[in-house]
Amino acid sequence: MAHSNYVFTSESVSEGHPDKVCDQISDGVVDLFLAQDPYARVACETLATTNRIVIAGEVRGPEGLLKEIEGVARDTVKAIGYEQDGFHWKTAEVQCYLHAQSADIAVGVDAAGNKDEGAGDQGIMFGYACRETDDLMPAPIHYAHRILKSLADARHGGVKELGPDAKSQVSLQYVDGKPVRATSVVVSTQHAEGLDQEAVREIVRPHVLKVLPEGWMCDEAHFYVNPTGRFVIGGPDGDAGLTGRKIIVDTYGGAAPHGGGAFSGKDPTKVDRSAAYAARYLAKNVVGAGLADRCTIQLSYAIGVSHPLSVYIDTAGTGRVDEEKLSDVLRQLMNLSPRGIREHLKLNRPIYARTAAYGHFGRTPDADGGFSWEKLDLVDELKRAF
């Protein structure tokens, strides 16, 4: 039986965190290829350290893009705001080691004859939704993301005292299974030389107060800003970054299960990404339709196989309909083959760089098709089915 009274914590990291720098570069490369060929294949990994960016992986698509790939890396770092001695968009060395996709992988994924397109890899993927926030996301990760986004907006708007690298952590008290207040808030943010801890604290405070619901702020003793006292050296100069190391930040902050793979740097034939998006889409529509207050969906795939091996649904005792019937209805409403997911959510578009910071879920769908998996366009059909 689940606990009803507890404290749960989630963390987020900013766009300037070393790992997120790498995620954004990798997804920028995905967008570069998809913009030229919607069916390009990309598996791109990025490493960033002191004034050096290394890009590696496998691709199939337009050739001769080496200069453009370097441009993606530099433009991404510039947009984030890194113009520091140890990491600068203009002076960092960029090395690219992308090479052709393995033919052994390609033959399993490609459609041929009577064979439909197969999954790009084996794996399990999860989607989740709940009623804790308007965007049907768990509250701790929702507020952790928004604190950092508010700080980033202020920095881009001219607050020079803040640097690009930052982390947040929000602990919420739950009563009868519902969040009621913050018990602690942690924010560590890179800052200008000469700024003391108290000054940074007062820069951060209004952003936390703005994001949390009224009356939710923790007491002063549990409001931690730059607990070490100093955070001047940051970003890849302070700590090396890699693509795919912030998978819990990318999803549900630990409030729901996570599959085995990261998202960034992967084109939509990779079910690590596309099936996780599909699972979130279905779970969100289930909750949005009022069929449950919480919904977890697991999908599983085998490389080269065109259909999911399993579809598991758990409404954690909050469901108002039969879960077995719900599983059948969802399969009828959405083709969960890799091709079916891509076509339903229209994923073969350059829409991925924007996903690589502040979460892949709980975002507002864009007019150009970005965050299509956040739409609630199955709600009416689900209501009719039940």
Enumerate the known binding-site residues for K(+): 45
Q: Which residues are annotated as a binding site for Mg(2+)?
A: 19
Nearest-5° Cα angle at 27, 240 to 298: 100
**What whole-number distance in Å separates Cα of residue 147 and Cα of residue 210?**
8
Decide: 282 and 127 in contact? Cβ < 8 Å.
yes
Is residue 59 within a helix (H) or strand (E), and if so which, with residue range? Answer: strand 52-60
Decide: 358 and 15 in contact? Cβ < 8 Å.
yes
Q: Which residues are annotated as a binding site for ATP?
A: 17, 165-167, 230-231, 239, 245-246, 262, 266
Q: Are strands 178-191 and 223-225 parallel, antiparallel or unpaired?
A: parallel
Query: How buried is residue 239: exposed, middle or buried, by Cβ count under 10 Å (0-12/13-18/19+)?
Result: middle
* Structure tokens belonging to residue 62: 């337009």
Q: Which residues are annotated as a binding site?
A: 17, 19, 45, 58, 101, 165-167, 230-231, 239, 245-246, 262, 266, 270
Buried b (16+ CB within 10 A) or exposed e, 132-141: bbeebbbbbb
Which amino acid appears at position 293 of this protein? D
Look at residue 151 and give its three-state secondary structure.
helix
Backbone dihedral angles phi then psi of residue 134, each to the nearest 5 degrees: -60, -30
Helices (H), the chain: 18-36, 66-80, 103-109, 139-156, 197-211, 235-238, 247-250, 271-288, 323-333, 338-345, 379-385
**What whole-number distance in Å separates Cα of residue 193 and Cα of residue 63?**
44
Decide: 177 and 212 in contact? Cβ < 8 Å.
no
**What whole-number distance in Å separates Cα of residue 69 and Cα of residue 66?**
5
- Where in the sequence numbering do the catalytic residues fall? 17, 19-20, 45, 58, 167, 231, 239-240, 245-246, 266, 270, 272
Backbone dihedral angles phi then psi of residue 269, each to the nearest 5 degrees: -75, -15
